[in-house]
Amino acid sequence: MLQSRNNTSRTRRGNQSALRRARLAKAVFDKRPPRRTSGGRTIGPQDWLLIPAVLCVVATFILATDIPLPFGWDLPEPVWPMVLAFSWPLIRPSYIAPLLLAGLGFFLDYFWGAPLGFYVLCLMAVYGATLLIRSYIVGQDLWVVTVAYGLAVLLFFTLGTILTVIDTGMVPRLISVFEQMLATGVLVFFVHALLERFLHADVRFT
Amino acid sequence: MSYGDNQPFENLKLPLTWGVMIIVAGVCVVGALMFLGDKRGGLDAASYGNRGGFDGVAAKSNNLLSTPAHVVGDGANWLDDYFFAADENRILKKKVAELEKYRDSYIQAKELNRRYEVLLNLRTEPAVDTVTARSVSVSRGPFNNNRLIDAGASKKIRFGNPVINEHGLVGRIVGVSPDVSRVLMVTDVVSRIPVMVARSDARAMMVGDGGGFPRLEFVRGGKDVLKKGDQILTSGDGGIFPRGLPVGEARRGVDGVWRVDLYTNRAPIDIVKVLKFEDFSQLPRADEVLRTPLVTDVLPPPPPVKITGIGSSASASSAAAPGVTPVNNGASSSASSSSQQAPVNRPKPRPVTNAAASSSASNPAPPPPPAETSASAASGG
C-alpha cells in the first residue's frame, strides 16, 4: 500500500516536470502568432530593429561613394547609426538592440578604417545614456527630443575626440569635428520619424 | 506545497532595463579591449591585415555605386567641352603662348642639371614603377581619413607605397587585399610625413589632424625658413616617401599654426597613381652610394704641359719651391729630368663603373707617377 502510494506520488511529480518542460519548450520554440489588437498595428523586431539598421548601412555606403562634385564639394558623412543609438532605447528597451548596435559599430570601424571598438564604444555610450534618461524624454515635445538628441551627438563626438587622443596622441581638428557633428545633427528628422512611427503611434510589439 | 515552491528564483524577474544595461556594459568592455588592442600609432602591415576581405567587398559595392556617377559626370564633361570649346580654345592659346618661354628655359635647365649630375657623379633617384587606380570609396570624417582604391596585391602594390595624383601627394598604402587597397590620406590624424621647404631646404614634419590643412611641426631652421606660399615637398627622410614629391604650399592658419594648403585640395581625388617605391632597400648598395669618387675619375684631363728652356737648375728650384710638396721626394729628381723630354704620361679618364667603384672604395688610391706630380706643380695645380 505504502509502495503504491509512493509510486503514485513519483508519477505525479514526473508528470508535473514533464508538463513544465513541455510548457517551456512551447514558450521557447513554438512560433507564437503575433498578437493583434483592434486598435493598433503589430510590429516585430525586424520592423524597428533590422530594417532601420540595414537602411543605415546602405546610407553609409552611398554617402561614402567617391563621387566628384563641382566646386570642390564633398558628400556629407554623418554617423547614421547615431539615429538608432538614440531612438531604440526611447522606443523600447530591448536585448537585441545593443547587440545589433555593436554590430553597426564594428561595421563603421571596418568601413571607415577606425581602430576596432572605436565606434562601438561611442554608440554604446549614447545608447546607455539615453536608456538611463528615457523616462524623462518619452512623451515630451519634439523640441525636447531634439535637444536631447543634440546632447547625445555632443556626447558621441566628445567621446570620439577623447578616444582619438588616446589612440594617436593628437587632437583632431575641431572644425572638422563640428562639421561632422552638424551633418549628424541634421539626422534628427529621422529620429522624429522613427519615434513617430514606433513610439507615438498606436502599435503593439510582439 | 504548492506548485513552484521548490523554485525560489521563478518569480524573481530582472527588470528589462537592468538586463539591457548589463548587455551594454558587456559590449562596452569588449569594445574597450578591442580598442586598446588595435592602436594605430605604430602603423604596420599587420594593423590592417585582417580587414582585407571586408575592404574587398566594400570596394566592389562602392564601385557599383560610383560607376553610374562617373558615367554621368563624363557625359556632362563631354557636353561642357562641346558647348564651350571656342571659349576654352581662346584661353588655352593664351596659356600656351605664356608657357612656351617657360618650356624653353626648363629644357635648358634640365640639360644643365643633367650635366652637373654626371660631372659630380650624383646619385639620382631610381626610376619608380607606378600603378594607376581609381578611388572608389572615401572616409573623410575628423577621426579617419582614408580611401579605397581598385588596385591591390595582384598589381604588386605593397604596404607603404606612396600614392599621388596629378596635383601632388595623396597618402600611402596601409592595407592591401588582392584587388583593393586602403590609402591613408595625408590628412588623417595618424599621418606623419617628413617634408621640406623648397625655398630654404628647411625640414619639418607634416602632421594630419583630420582637417584639410595638415599642420607643420618641428620646423627646423631660423626665423625666415618658412614664408607664406613656400612650396612644401617630401624630404625623403625616413625612406617612406621619395624625395621631392609636391605636397602643397605653406599657409598660416587662424590659430597661428603653420599649415599646408594641399595641392590635392584643388580638385576632387579621382584617379591616383601608386608609386612602387618602398624604402632605401631598393637603392644601390651602401658601399657604392657612400663612395666618394676620385676627382681624376670624373674631371676631364687638363691640357698637356710643355716645358721649354729650363735646365736642371730649374728642376732643382721647382723641387725646392716651398709651395710644392711632391708626393715622392726620392723619385722627383730623377723624374723631373725625364719630364723635359717626354710628354706628360697621364692616366686616361675612365667612366665610373661599379667595378671601378668597388675597387676604389676598397683600396686606397695609388700614388700618381712622379712625372704627373712635377708637371702639375709646374702648372700651378
- Identify the band that residue A168 occupies on the pLDDT scale cut at 50, 70 and 90: confident
Does A86 lie in the same domain as A61? yes
Contact B173, B181 (CB under 8 A): yes
Does A176 lie in the same domain as A147? yes
CA–CA distance, B170 with B264 (Å, rounded to integer):
7
Contact A104, A57 (CB under 8 A): yes
Question: From B139, which residue of chain A is nearest by alpha-carbon distance?
Answer: A112
pLDDT for the residue numbered A202? 66
CA–CA distance, B51 with A178 (Å, rounded to integer):
29
pLDDT for the residue numbered B374? 39
User: Which residues lie below 8 Å from residue B69, measured CB to CB, with a gap of 6+?
Assistant: A65, A67
pLDDT for the residue numbered B321? 37
Of B35, B62, B146, the CB nearest to A113: B146
Cβ neighbours around B220 below 10 Å, total:
11
Contact residues, chain B, for A67 at CB < 8 Å: 66, 69-70, 73
pLDDT for the residue numbered A109? 92
CA–CA distance, B144 with B175 (Å, rounded to integer):
14
- Identify the band that residue B344 occupies on the pLDDT scale cut at 50, 70 and 90: very low
Tens-place pLDDT, residues B238-253: 888 888 899 999 999 8
Contact residues, chain A, for B4 at CB < 8 Å: none
Contact residues, chain B, for A105 at CB < 8 Å: 31
Answer whether B35 sits within 8 Å of A93, measured CB to CB: no
Answer whether A160 sits within 8 Å of B143, measured CB to CB: yes
Of B25, B37, B210, the CB nearest to A172: B210
Q: Where are the domains of chain B?
A: 125-282, 286-323+331-378
pLDDT for the residue numbered B312? 44
Answer whether B37 sits within 8 Å of A74, measured CB to CB: no
Answer whether A172 sits within 8 Å of B138, measured CB to CB: no
Contact residues, chain B, for A169 at CB < 8 Å: 41
pLDDT for the residue numbered A4? 54
CA–CA distance, A161 with A169 (Å, rounded to integer):
11
Task: Tell me the three cell numbers of residue B35.
Answer: 580598442
pLDDT for the residue numbered A53? 95
A-proximal residues of B, 71-130, CB under 8 Å: 73
Tens-place pLDDT, residues B150-205: 898 899 998 889 999 989 999 999 888 888 999 999 999 989 999 999 888 899 99
More confident residue, A3 or B214: B214
What is the residue range of A43's domain?
39-205
Contact A117, B31 (CB under 8 A): yes
Q: Pick from B33, B34, B35 the residue to mutate for testing the A interface (most A CBs within 10 Å).
A: B35
The yes-or-no verdict on residue A6 having pLDDT over 90 is no
**Which helix H or strand E contains B169, and what residues bound it?**
strand B169-176
Answer whether B34 sits within 8 Å of A131, measured CB to CB: no
User: Which residues lie below 8 Å from residue A154, measured CB to CB, with a gap of 6+?
Assistant: A181
Angstroms from B212 CA to nearest CA on chain A: 9
Tens-place pLDDT, residues B313-333: 444 444 333 333 333 433 333
Fold of B125-282: Thrombin, subunit H (2.40.10)
pLDDT for the residue numbered B85? 87
* DSSP per-residue codes, chain A: -HHHHHHHHHHHHHHHHHHHHHHHHHHHHS-PPPP--SSSEEE-HIIIIIHHHHHHHHHHHHHTB----GGG-------THHHHHHHHHHH---SHHHHHHHHHHHHHHHHHTPPTTHHHHHHHHHHHHHHHTHHHHTTS-HHHHHHHHHHHHHHHHHHHHHHHHHHHS-PPPHHHHHHHHHHHHTTHHHHHHHHHHHTSS-EEE-
The yes-or-no verdict on residue B256 having pLDDT over 60 is yes
Does A131 lie in the same domain as A43? yes
* Domain count for chain A: 2
